[in-house]
């Protein structure tokens, strides 16, 4: 089927059904699998201008336009130029923004899957992406781009389906989390799992949501998305006027510094849009991602990759990018360009208007 | 009074009473204030061999001997040599290991203070240390030493009472937390405050303990006490055998990697020995510590300080030590020696057997 010429509204399609279930890396099957996605721009007659955008942990299908999570990168005149490209962006498998995930309804019970939802792997997310591409009648994308967990999906795709991606842009990606990365995600997951409102994952049936645990996870995540340097620049570190003489502990312990108010704000808006089970599943998928561990991979000798990292990113910093690039080269990818961009904004940089970064991507995708 | 020659058992003394309450920096008073402390070694006839040890956030009065939290540093033949020194180590004000803190009984209610306990400052902790010293009949210490929050107490003491400390050893200390430091403590505090078992601080009266929140705080703290590099060395990062094919999400999400088991172990032993209210108060004291902000300080021109940091410490790293040393020099302290020690073990290094570090301290205190 040919998609509508310009369609920024979220569409939904069932890509796997009971007759044709999704076979997962863990050995289980899943059906139905519905996918929410957007397309932006016009597909050329020769279907050669498709761009696939993979989102990170908490993203969704709306990358561009007002409120889009990657409007710095994707849009008219942006590095991923929707005036000339046909941009596809799905919500990922296991998510909570329209695509099937652990809080979707289990057809066998009529309730949310909860922890009966199967464990997932990045490879499963890629299988669903590829099925969406086939559904759209596209064999090959001109560019596939993703940041953080989105970059991991691009990496897996390069391995799983040589020939489907001409140019890959992997930003702040990792091919193997560090023990520190896993530790941080563990702290977040335990906060969710220990929340009395979690109810072993069946919180919807209890009319509850583990908001305290999810808020803890989000506060912690935001500390790791910024850098020490970026926080020092962004927040007034000064003690509030008169606060030294606060004689009442409740007020003394309440948010007082700017960075505390920032974390509270981020937690509050996150609770309104995200789901705790998806948080558990998607972080665990990243822990287990290790695509070069199983031995040599054979990549497309005609494909090119751009691997970008940021100087102040301490979640998936340059050492991760170096490992990604080394693995791509060892696998025989046609060309691998590594770029380290100076930015004080840590892991968040990949979403921000960092001109040197956007220029590097633009030159790579237009070359 | 002259303390017993060698006494490693914890002693208790009431240092402030209703007739003579402790006047706090916030303007309130507190009484009674009981202090738990140990002394180790023999005080010389001229009372010139006293060493004062200040503990960090979660320490106690037992620094040395079997199970002592600083047995690498303090003991017979150690850099702080109990064969030649008289070592005093109290549990700090606001703590939960025998000294008055927010879970102590409020004499006006017969219940735990909870959040009725007054806000504290590092200066208040130092006031209590100095009263303990006076109680022991000592005017001046040969050496005062502390790591992390312990070092902050030494710094405040140098400012508050020039002439009382001959040699100060400040390890992994800070004179002003960064926004990132405050953010990390905020995440931990919110987890405790949000725990349904916190009961507005009156959990003891409810027969409860906010163990989930306190465990979250401790897991997070341990991530920040180690470094990325140290974690990579310490933990087997490998995926457990057969785990990729786990088809059951409960098992998949349970601790699987070594670092996850480590954090669970640390949280469990911490719950057995620490109190959530003390955690709230003591972390908040550190947030507000900013002794050089009020203007010039005048320090003892005959005193010397050693300021130590570790290369991989990202909680209170070398940039904090540089600021501490600069403030001491600006205040006119007699001599300030800055030493950066190579260690992969992050903030934890100050408690560990790092030979170059222990040698530096030994040379400084013996010179």
Q: Is B314 on the interface with A (CB under 8 A)?
A: yes
Residues 6+ apart with CB under 8 A from B139: B47, B133, B164
| Mean pLDDT, residues B326-351 | 98
Domain end: B261, B285, B309, which one?
B285
| Residue B238: inside a domain | yes
- CA angle, A318 as apex, A283 and A71 as ends, to 5°? 65
- Same domain as A192, residue A173: no
**Do B238 and B303 lie in a common domain?**
no
Residue of B191, B228, B245 with shortest CB distance to A26? B245
Residues of the domain holding B133: 7-177+290-366
| pLDDT single digits (tens) B124-139 | 999 999 999 999 999 9
The whole-number pLDDT of residue A294 equals 82
Question: Could you tell me where the beta strands, DSSP code E, fall in B17-102?
Answer: 22-23, 29-30, 33-40, 50-54, 74-75, 80-81, 86-90
On whether residue A51 sits in a domain, the answer given is: yes
The question of whether B178 is a catalytic residue gets the answer: no
pLDDT of residue B194: 97
Maximum C-alpha span of chain A:
72
Beta strands in B55-182 (DSSP E): 74-75, 80-81, 86-90, 141-147, 165-171
Q: Under a CB-based contact definition with an 8 Å cutoff, are residues A199 and A103 in contact?
A: no
Q: What is the CATH number of the domain that holds B171?
A: 3.40.50.1820
Q: Does residue A2 lie in a domain region? A: no
Domain boundary (B285, B301, B325) is at B285
Q: Tell me whether residue A201 is in a domain.
A: yes
- Chain A contact for B190 (CB, 8 A cutoff): yes
Contact with chain A for residue B183, Cβ under 8 A: yes
Same domain, B163 and B302: yes
Catalytic residue among B81, B275, B313, B348: B313
Same domain, B204 and B105: no
Examine the pLDDT at B5 and tell me if it is beyond 70: no
Residues in B 327-366 with any Cβ partner in A closer than 8 A: none
Largest CA distance in chain B: 72
Span B269-298, average pLDDT: 96
Report the C-alpha gap between B293 and B315 in whole angstroms. Answer: 21
> Cβ–Cβ of A220/B220 closer than 8 Å?
yes
Please tell me whether residues A195 and A216 are part of one structural domain.
Answer: yes
Report, as an integer, the average pLDDT of B186-192: 98
| Cis check: omega of the bond before A137, within 30 degrees of 0 | no
- The chain-wide mean pLDDT, for chain B, equals 96
* Residues 98-137 in B contacting A (C-alpha not used; CB under 8 Å): 102, 115-119, 121
Average pLDDT of span B193-209? 98
Q: Which of A263, A285, A307 is the last residue of a domain?
A: A285
The predicted pLDDT at position A42 comes to: 97
pLDDT of residue A295: 87
pLDDT single digits (tens) A249-281: 999 999 999 999 999 999 999 999 999 999 999
Q: How many domains does chain A have?
A: 2
What integer is the mean pLDDT of B333-348? Answer: 98
Predicted confidence (pLDDT) at residue A3 exceeds the cutoff of 90: no
Calculate how close chain A gets to B140, using CA atoms only, in Å: 29
Of B113, B116, B180, which to mutate for an interface test with A (greatest number of A Cβ within 10 Å)?
B180
Return the residue matching tokens 């702080």. B80
H and E: helices and strands count for chain A: 10, 12
How distant is the Cα of A128 from the closest Cα of chain B, in angstroms?
A: 19
Residue B22, pLDDT > 70, answer yes
Q: How confident is the model at residue A153 (pLDDT cuts 50, 70, 90)?
A: very high
Q: What is the mean pLDDT of residues B248-270?
A: 96
Res B311: pLDDT:
98
Binary contact (A248, B121; C-beta < 8 A): no
**Residues B221 and B356 placed together within one structural domain of the fold:** no
Mean pLDDT for A279-285 is: 98
Backbone torsions φ then ψ of B33, nearest 5 degrees:
-120, 110
What pLDDT does B254 receive?
A: 95
Could you tell me the pLDDT band of residue B241, with boundaries at 50, 70 and 90?
Answer: confident
Average pLDDT of the segment spanning A3-10: 55
Q: Residue A8's pLDDT is what?
A: 53
CA B208, CA B202: separation in Å to the nearest integer? 9
Packing angle, helices B211-225 and B258-271, rounded to 10: 130
Q: Is the same domain home to A265 and A333?
A: no
Contact between B216 and A180 using a beta-carbon 8 Å cutoff: no
Give the mean model confidence (pLDDT) for residues B185-192: 98
B43–chain A nearest CA distance, Å = 38
Interface check for A186 against chain B (CB to CB < 8 A): the answer is yes
C-beta of residue A177 within 8 angstroms of C-beta of residue B232? no
Q: What is the mean pLDDT of residues B31-35?
A: 98
> Do B15 and B137 fall within a single domain?
yes
Cβ within 8 Å, pair A183-B216: no
Distance from CA of B78 to the nearest CA of A (A): 32
CA atoms A51, A57, A61, A65: torsion sign? negative
Examine the domain organization and report whether A13 and A131 are in the same domain: yes
Could you tell me the two tokens for A60?
A: 């969704």
Task: Kindly determine whether residue B259 and residue A186, on different chains, have CB atoms separated by under 8 Å.
Answer: yes
The answer to whether B139 contacts chain A (CB < 8 Å) is no
Has residue B63 been placed in a domain? yes
Q: How confident is the model at residue A246 (pLDDT cuts 50, 70, 90)?
A: confident
Q: What is residue B2's predicted lDDT score, i.e. its pLDDT?
A: 35
Contact A179 B219 (CB under 8 A): no
Are residues A117 and A167 both part of a single domain? yes
pLDDT for the residue numbered A364: 98
All residues of chain A having their beta carbon less than 8 Å from the beta carbon of residue B237 are 176, 178-179, 182
Note whether A34 and A153 are same-domain residues. yes
Rounded to an integer, the average pLDDT of B288-296 is 92
The answer to whether position B2 is within a domain reads no
Task: Spell out the residues 6+ positions from residue A274 whose beta carbon is closer than 8 angstroms to its own.
Answer: A58, A96, A214, A218
The overall average pLDDT reported for chain A is 96
Q: Cβ of A216 and B179 within 8 Å?
A: no
Q: Tokens standing for B301?
A: 């021109």
End-to-end CA distance of chain A: 30
Mean pLDDT of A219-237: 95
Answer whether 0.90 is exceeded by the pTM: yes
Q: For residue A300, list its beta bridge partners.
A: none
pLDDT above 70 (res B4): no
pLDDT of residue B8: 54
B323 touches A at CB < 8 Å:
no
Residue A52 domain-assigned (yes or no): yes
Statement: residue A49 has pLDDT above 70: yes
Say if B51 falls within a structural domain: yes
What pLDDT score does A6 carry? 41
Tell me, yes or no, whether A267 and A314 share the same domain.
Answer: no
Phi, psi of A145 (to 5 degrees): -140, 140
pLDDT of B186 over the 60 cut = yes
Examine the pLDDT at A2 and tell me if it is beyond 60. Answer: no
Establish, for the pair of chains A and B, how many residue pairs have beta carbons separated by less than 8 Å: 185
Nearest-neighbour CA in chain B from A245: distance (Å):
4
DSSP three-state, residue A122: helix
> Which residues in chain B touch residue A263, judged by CB atoms under 8 angstroms apart?
183, 186-187
Nearest CB partner across the interface for B247, out of A118, A215, A280: A118
The pLDDT of residue A124 is above 90: yes
**Residue A44 contacts B where some CB pair is shorter than 8 Å:** no
């Amino acid at each position: 089927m040919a998609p509508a010429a310009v369609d920024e509204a979220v569409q939904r399609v069932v890509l796997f059904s009971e007759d044709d279930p999704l076979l997962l890396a863990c050995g289980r099957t899943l059906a139905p699998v519905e996918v929410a996605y957007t397309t932006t721009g016009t597909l050329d007659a020769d279907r050669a201008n498709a761009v696939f955008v993979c989102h990170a942990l908490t993203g969704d299908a709306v990358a561009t336009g007002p409120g889009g999570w990657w409007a710095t990168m994707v849009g008219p005149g942006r590095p991923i130029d929707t005036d000339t490209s046909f941009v596809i962006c799905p919500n990922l498998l296991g998510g909570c923004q329209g695509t099937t995930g652990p809080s979707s309804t289990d057809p066998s019970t009529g309730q949310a899957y909860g922890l009966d939802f199967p464990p997932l792997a990045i490879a499963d997310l890629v299988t669903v992406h590829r099925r969406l591409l086939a559904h759209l009648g596209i064999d090959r994308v001109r560019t596939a781009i993703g940041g953080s967990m989105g970059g991991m999906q691009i990496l897996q795709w390069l391995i799983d389906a040589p020939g489907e991606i001409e140019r890959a842009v992997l930003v702040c990606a990792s091919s193997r989390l560090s023990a520190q990365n896993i530790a941080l995600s563990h702290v977040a997951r335990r906060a969710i799992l220990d929340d009395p409102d979690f109810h072993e994952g069946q919180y919807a049936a209890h009319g509850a949501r583990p908001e305290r645990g999810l808020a803890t996870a989000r506060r912690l995540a935001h500390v790791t998305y910024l850098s020490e340097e970026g926080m020092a620049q962004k927040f007034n570190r000064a003690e509030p006027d008169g606060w030294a003489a606060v004689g009442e502990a409740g007020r003394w312990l309440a948010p007082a510094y700017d960075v505390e108010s920032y974390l509270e704000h981020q937690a509050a808006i996150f609770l309104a849009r995200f789901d705790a089970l998806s948080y558990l599943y998607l972080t665990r998928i990243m822990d287990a991602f290790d695509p070069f561990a199983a031995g040599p991979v054979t990549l497309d000798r005609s494909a090119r990759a751009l691997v970008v990292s940021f100087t102040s990113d301490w979640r998936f910093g340059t050492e991760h990018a170096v490992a990604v690039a080394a693995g791509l080269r060892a696998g025989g990818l046609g060309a691998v360009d590594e770029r380290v961009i100076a930015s004080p904004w840590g892991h968040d940089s990949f979403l921000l208007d960092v001109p040197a970064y956007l220029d590097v991507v633009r030159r790579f995708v237009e070359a």
